[in-house]
């Protein structure tokens, strides 16, 4: 059961990050040409491979309880802030993530930026490298932490690889930002899963056994999901109550 | 120096995010759980309860424009 959760969580989290990286690469590639952008992507993937090769094996040397406490704590902190943002988005207190708007802005900035003389367009290279490397670091963090605490980095990598094939393949086919991916709902789901895993592993790492063992994961998941949905409802109600009469309570700006 | 600062800024924003109180609360909850694990007091419930409370307070602050 936890293996299914592991692959699913790695897949969803990786998809969200990869969609964001794809938007940046598409905006640069379509407005300034593909060569330098793709060199930037390749360089970022090489740098990421070096980071994973360096830290991955090191994590397997740490005793499992210490690793679960450390990684569970990190995942929990990370997961709760992810969930916090997702609840604020779902309730209208934070702007929704809009890939079309981000693509538009990145493309406008890329078109306006000056060009350097020489074989490589450094603007394209840097932007593509930065986008893929930073979003990729987040994917690497999730895969390494999920995988190492569950004792199976390859299984978490399967989820991330599936996301890569899906997002990169779709991006190559459609050549448009993947704005139809339900990114905000996926971020909500990932926030719930990260918080669930972080709670489970953090408590186990602290030396406490869960009643019901692995089945506790389901109970924590249901608990976190119910609380989060309840908070969305409550915040929506608060927002509607605070909005002046005649003004739409759920009006949202696009997140930059 | 700029790159080192940027590196730590990235990881701080990535992991801790907008509300450092949540991160601090999680660390305290895990420490209390670890301390209680050495006694006969059941401690599995502490982290879920603390996490939900921290999330609620943080959301409330954000909704009130203070977070």
CA angle, corner A139, sides to A3 and A65, nearest 5? 50
> Does the beta carbon of A210 lie under 8 angstroms from any beta carbon of chain B?
yes
User: What confidence category does residue A250 fall into, taking pLDDT thresholds of 50, 70 and 90?
Assistant: very low
Residue-by-residue DSSP string for chain B: -HHHHHHHHHHIIIIITT-HHHHHHHHHHHHHHHHHTTSSS--TTHHHHHHHHHHHHHHHHHHTT--
pLDDT confidence band for A41 (50 / 70 / 90):
very high
A159 with A190: CB under 8 angstroms?
no
What pLDDT is attached to residue A238? Answer: 87
Return the pLDDT at A254.
40
Average confidence (pLDDT) over A161-190: 81
A231 falls in which pLDDT band (50, 70, 90)?
very high
Residue A213 in contact with partner chain B when CB distance is under 8 A: no
The 10 Å Cβ neighbour count of residue B7 is: 10
Inter-residue contact A146 to A197 (CB < 8 Å): yes
For residue A205, pLDDT over 50 is answered with yes
| A81/B contact by beta carbon, under 8 A | yes
Name the pLDDT band for B25 (thresholds 50, 70, 90).
very high
- For B49-61, what is the mean pLDDT? 93
**Out of B27, B33, B58, whose CB is closest to A203?**
B33
- Please state, in angstroms and rounded to a whole number, the distance separating the CA atoms of residues A223 and A229: 10
What's the whole-number mean pLDDT along residues B25-47? Answer: 93
pTM here is 0.74
Cβ contacts of residue A40 below 8 Å, gap of 6+? A25, A28, A124, A125, A126, A127, A128, A129, A132
Are B22 and A84 an interchain contact pair (Cβ–Cβ within 8 Å)?
Answer: yes
Distance CA A73, CA A195 (A): 10
Q: Does residue B10 sit at the A interface (CB-CB below 8 Å)?
A: yes
Instruction: Write down the pLDDT at residue A179.
Output: 65
Percentage of chain A lying above the pLDDT 90 cut: 19
Most confidently modeled range among A99-103, A112-116, A198-202: A198-202
Chain A residue whose CA is closest to B65: A93
User: Does pLDDT of A75 surpass 80?
Assistant: yes
pLDDT of the residue at A177: 67
Q: Residues B18-39: what's their mean pLDDT?
A: 92
* CB neighbours of residue A161 within 10 Å: 15
Q: Quick one: pLDDT at residue A53? A: 83
Give the ipTM of the model, two decimals please. Answer: 0.88
Cβ atoms of A129 and A42 closer than 8 Å = no
Per residue in A127-165, pLDDT (tens digit) is 899 889 988 888 888 888 878 777 778 888 899 999 999
pLDDT at position A40:
92
Name residue A96's beta-bridge partners: A254
Distance (Å, whole) CA B12 – CA A99: 24
Looking at residue A253, what is its pLDDT? 40
Q: How far apart are CA A76 and CA A31, in angstroms?
A: 39
Q: Which of A19-28, A115-124, A180-189, B36-45 has the lowest mean pLDDT?
A: A115-124
């Amino acid at each position: 059961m936890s293996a299914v959760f592991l692959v699913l969580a790695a897949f969803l989290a990786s998809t969200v990050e990869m969609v964001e990286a794809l938007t940046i690469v598409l905006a640069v590639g379509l407005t300034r040409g593909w060569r330098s952008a793709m060199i930037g992507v390749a360089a970022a993937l090489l740098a990421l491979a070096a980071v994973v090769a360096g830290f991955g094996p090191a994590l397997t040397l740490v005793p499992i309880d210490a690793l679960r406490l450390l990684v569970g704590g990190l995942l929990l902190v990370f997961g709760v802030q992810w969930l916090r943002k997702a609840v604020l988005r779902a309730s209208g207190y934070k702007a929704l993530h809009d890939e079309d708007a981000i693509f538009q802005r990145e493309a406008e900035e890329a078109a306006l930026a000056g060009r350097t003389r020489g074989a490589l367009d450094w603007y394209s290279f840097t932007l593509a490298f930065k986008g893929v490397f930073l979003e990729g670091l987040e994917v690497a963090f999730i895969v390494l932490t999920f995988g190492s605490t569950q004792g199976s980095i390859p299984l978490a990598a399967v989820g991330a690889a599936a996301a890569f094939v899906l997002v990169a393949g779709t991006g190559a086919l459609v050549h448009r930002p993947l704005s139809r991916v339900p990114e905000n709902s996926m971020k909500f789901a990932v926030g719930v899963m990260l918080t669930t895993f972080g709670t489970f592993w953090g408590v186990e790492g602290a030396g406490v056994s869960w009643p019901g063992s692995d089945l506790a994961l389901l109970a924590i998941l249901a608990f976190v999901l119910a609380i989060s949905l309840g908070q969305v409802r409550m915040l929506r109600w608060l927002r509607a109550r605070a909005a002046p009469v005649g003004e739409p309570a759920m009006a949202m700006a696009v997140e930059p | 120096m700029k790159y080192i600062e940027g590196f730590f800024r990235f990881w701080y924003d990535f992991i801790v995010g907008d509300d450092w109180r949540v991160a601090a609360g999680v660390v305290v909850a895990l420490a209390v759980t670890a301390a209680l694990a050495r006694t006969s007091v059941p401690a599995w419930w502490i982290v879920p309860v603390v996490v939900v409370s921290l999330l609620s307070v943080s959301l409330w602050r954000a909704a009130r424009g203070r977070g």
